[in-house]
Structure 1
Amino acid sequence: MSITDNLNTAPSWVSPVMRVGYSARAATYVILGALTVLAAWTGGQAEGTSSALGQLRDTSWGVPVLWAVAVGLFAYALWRLIAAHYDLELHGSGLKGIVARGGLIVTGLIHVGLGVSAARQAMGGGEGGDSVQSLASWLMQQGEWGKWAVATVGLVTIAAGIYYVFKGFRESYKRHLRETRLSRKLDPAVKVGLVAHGIVIAIIGIFLAYAGWNADPSQAGGMGLAFEAVRNQPFGRFLLAGLGLGLIAFAVYCVVEAVYRIIPRCSSGSMHTLAGNFSTAWERRLKRFA
């Protein structure tokens, strides 16, 4: 019997939607990481997420892949929104839980935007501009408060990046992952991927905060600008290549999530996670919701 039988759980299709979503996220980061490594090797321009996906359009198999990625990103967004609504990960209704569930909503909305971008590219609609810079520009046009909003978004983004880095080092992700021989072997790549992703997100946040402070939206930017900032450092091409490999490792993390992730409200207490027995980690939380 599931230890969540006495709780209101999400629809049965939540789990497959989540797994499709993580798979699409993995495909996106494989493409992005590979192009970043290639840019470091050849000295070319490092691409952001939208531009990296846009390069697929010119290949013979690119359009079907773009559609598949778009559908998957929408699935990931749906998973995040449903997880927030049903509190599938048992964050609770306190201040900490509200912040965590708010973060799920924000990441869901971000992936709606990425899904729209991939769909537009599949239809030949072009890559568009830098979405982060566009957001900063729009906010600053709304009034004097706009630059402070951009700076605040930047600080929140930095915090999100730090969260990913700590998530990797503290290994808190292990509580959600079913333990198997393969998941144990892939764990080092998962840790590296989370740290690399956190570094990129934090750099984007720094540019956003700086743009808000100076009331200059041109100083904001997404992953493309973050990659260029890394390249401009001493030994920048080597750092950029390492970051690209780290993003490929983050794709491995997404694959591991797609295959082995446990949804607390929808899972039994008999399985074993990378962090130990599932029931000992989550049953105490479930009792608070019963």
Structure 2
Amino acid sequence: MALSDTLSNPLPTTPNAGIRTLARVGFAAKGLVYGLMGTLALLAATGQQQGQTADKKQAVQTLQGLPGGPVLLGLIALGLLAYIVWRVVQAVRDTEDKGNDMAGIARRVGYAASGLVYASLAWYAAQLALSGSADSGSDARQTLTARVLAWPAGDWIIMLAGAATVGVGLYQLYQAYSGRFHKHVQGSDIPAGQQNTVYRLGQLGYTARGIVLGIIGYFFIQAGRQSRASAVGSTDEAFDLLASMGPLVLGIVALGLMAYGLYMLVQAKYPVLKI
């Protein structure tokens, strides 16, 4: 079940079919990125690759050295772009029927935001595919944080951003154990005998994402408390913190991210979309 399999489906003949195709391609690209990131973290946990973990951009960069690397990177870029477009359409057209009240609008804005966070990764993959090099922007987060800290009440803004990120992480844990996404598994065309396995993959994946996002949010809170931009960190730094707790801890989270990648690939093949 690869991104190329999703791309090889017949061309859509209706607008809704086109939107479904965007979503499926996007799920596949997102799944491959998380699978790569989890695999690299697992290798680090087991003492491979000099213990070096990788964030999303570093994970994508590993494709560059593979046969057909530029093509793979191009597919990832296009897939992530499709995911962004799908999330924006989901928000604008209200495909999930969230409504126009405050809660509904907040959820719809959240859909768009969850897609747009992949914009820099899509651009990074596209640059690697086209020119073979790209600026990872690894210091961009710290630079932006430093600018915000210089504002009046900037430390509070950074702490609020961190608290919001922790909140998103907690929501991922809620997703994992409230059973909210179980209806998506049951409502899909996944063979009945495989639905429980897919559900468990999703649980593991949401748990791992929740842990990593919680740690990143903690970094932001500390940056605000200390008025120190260098305290912020990305997924890579979150992995380093987990590794400091022992290779088993990092390995478990790495397996969870791999599980999330697999779950996204299943979503690509058996999407549940209200369109």
Greater than 6 Å deviation, 4+ residue runs? none
Distance between the aligned counterparts of 1:34 and 1:209, measured in 2? Answer: 29
2:51 match: secondary structure? coil
- Does the 8 A contact of 1:46 with 1:224 survive in 2? yes
Equivalent residue, structure 2, for 1:254: 264
Percent of paired sites with the same residue:
29
Report the Cα distance in structure 1 between the residues aligned to 2:269 and 2:143, rounded to whole angstroms.
Answer: 35
Residue 33 (structure 1) shift: 0.5
Which runs of structure 2 are paired with 1:82-93 in the superposition (5 Å)? 82-93=89-100
Distance in 1 of aligned mates of 2:149 and 2:158: 7
Q: Secondary structure at the match of 1:97?
A: helix
Deviates more, 1:16-25 or 1:148-157: 148-157
Residue 263 (structure 1) aligns with: 273
Name structure 2 gaps, 5 residues minimum.
1-13
Q: 2:119 is matched with which residue?
A: 112
Match of 2:73 among 56, 66, 78: 66
CA contact (8 A) 1:183 1:256 kept: no
Among 242, 247, 250, the residue aligned to 2:252 = 242
SS in structure 2 at match of 1:63: helix
Q: Distance in 2 between matches of 1:131 and 1:164?
A: 26
Gaps of 5+ in 1: 1-8, 267-290
Deviation per residue, 1:162-208 (Å, 9 max, x gap): 11111011111123341532333322111111111111111111111
Q: 1:202 aligns with which of 214, 218, 229?
A: 214
The answer (yes or no) to whether the contact 1:54–1:126 under 8 Å persists in 2 is: no
2:137 maps to what in 1?
A: 128
1:168 aligns with 2:179: no
CA shift, 1:54, in A, is 1.5
Mapped to 1, the partners of 2:167 and 2:227 lie a distance apart of 21
TM-score, normalising length: structure 1: 0.82
After superposition, the C-alpha distances for 1:109-155 in whole angstroms (9 at most, x for unaligned) are: 101122112222323124331554344234334x2233322211111
User: Residue 24 of structure 2 aligns with which residue?
Assistant: 19
TM-score using structure 2 length: 0.86
Change (3 A) 1:207 1:22: same
Distance across 2 between alignment mates of 1:132 and 1:172:
32
Partner Cα separation in structure 2 for residue 131 and residue 198 of structure 1 = 23
Distance (whole Å) between structure 2 residues aligned to residue 214 and residue 223 of structure 1? 20
